[in-house]
Amino acid sequence: MKIIHCADLHLDSRMTANLSKEQARERKKEIIRTFTRMVEYAASNQVRVILIAGDLFDTRNVSAMARNTVRDMISTHPEIDFLYLRGNHDNDNFLSKMEELPENLLLFDEKWKAYRYGSIVISGVELSAANRATVYNSLVLNHDDYNIVTMHGQTANYRSKEQAENISLNDLCNKNIDYLALGHVHGYVQNKLDNRGVFCYAGCLEGRGFDECGPKGFVLLDVDEKSHSAVTSFVPIASRTLYTLEVDVSGAMTTSDAAARIEKAIAEQSYPSGSMVKFVLTGDVEVDAEFNTDYLQDLFSDYFYFEKVYDKTKLRIDYSDYEKDASLKGEFIRMVLGSDMSEEQKTEVIRCGILALSGEEI
């Protein structure tokens, strides 16, 4: 039996942090389309269950398009059960707007609920302040079943008395769990839970910001009902991938120098043209080095769907070089170096000061 484990779809996310209004609208549609492609994949590969481990939507106000698309994809695929566990971003708006829930949309709540498919049992619970004291002791699973358990939250090695969204791995050990399907972490992670089972974050279907770089998709479980063994595989499905590319510009002095380094770094990678890339300039540079990140961003704007350039270089400053410098620049640098600011703050203040003294826009 085949099962898809997905989570953190965040449909209807605003997407306005980095993108233009047109790009944000396009990305919202792309994320919804990725959900439909996942369902189409399930239908063409005889997947019996799509398990959504939280955060199907991003905000309380779900658009009609997102709501109707999800409802229609569920109702037009009656051969697939959609098991939906709500996460910290989800609420009842999606469900309450439906006059009648599709028969194949199955829900979890704040008490353990289980759905059986022969000897495969999928159990889940939505964490809350009300159940955090009893949720682990109340989980009872049959040793002879293949047990999938789903929750949404951050794993920890202990039971939190304050944070209901914390999931205590220690309290889930030796509970006859074969596969712990989790949501909340936006990257794919799979590790051993105990001698019997594993825990897994499927990650999100689409990266939305540069804290969500790399391949995104879902996990496919193929469970042998007789042997109770399972093959799990991560299936990338995102329409676009986000990357962070560090570019060492040590010794470079001008924006043109930095551009040449970026060009070389791009040539060494194989990022598709539809990617979203953050360039991070690194290395040690001279005080007089000049890098215009806005110009660099515009210069490479035709290479990918979206680019961003950050200057994270460190200034190579020898205090003795300015100890007797009678210029305004020397006085400024001595004053900053003698302050109680952190090294990072000193670097940024000196960088801005040198630009100002040179008549550049900061």
Largest interatomic CA distance in the chain: 84
For residue 360, pLDDT over 70 is answered with: no
Whether the predicted pLDDT of 318 surpasses 70: no
User: Predicted confidence band at 99 (pLDDT cuts at 50, 70, 90)?
Assistant: confident
Both tokens of residue 68? 């109707």
Q: What is the mean pLDDT of the chain?
A: 89
What pLDDT does 302 receive? 93
More confident residue, 249 or 319: 249
Q: How confident is the model at residue 361 (pLDDT cuts 50, 70, 90)?
A: low
User: pLDDT for 247-287, tens place per residue?
Assistant: 999 999 999 999 999 999 999 999 999 999 999 999 999 88
What's residue 92's pLDDT?
62
The per-residue pLDDT for range 6-21, each reduced to its tens digit, is 999 999 888 767 788 8
DSSP structural state of residue 172? G
The candidate with the shortest Cα–Cα distance to 265, out of 251, 253, 286, 282, is 282
The CA distances from residue 82 to 39, 70, 75, 106, in Å, are 10, 11, 10, 6
Cut 0.85: pTM above it: yes
Would you say residue 170 has pLDDT above 80? yes
- Predicted pLDDT of residue 188: 97
In whole angstroms, give the CA distance from residue 354 to residue 348: 10
Least confident of 91-100, 177-186, 254-263, 268-277: 91-100
The mean-pLDDT minimum among 134-148, 197-211, 326-340 falls in 326-340
* Residue 156, pLDDT score: 81
Would you place residue 233 in the very low, low, confident or very high pLDDT band (cuts 50, 70, 90)? very high
Tell me whether strands 189-192 and 179-183 are parallel, antiparallel or unpaired. unpaired
Cα angle at 292 between 353 and 263, to 5 degrees?
A: 145
Mean pLDDT to the nearest integer, 222-238: 93
What single-letter amino acid sits at 194? D
* pLDDT at 174 exceeding the cut of 90: yes
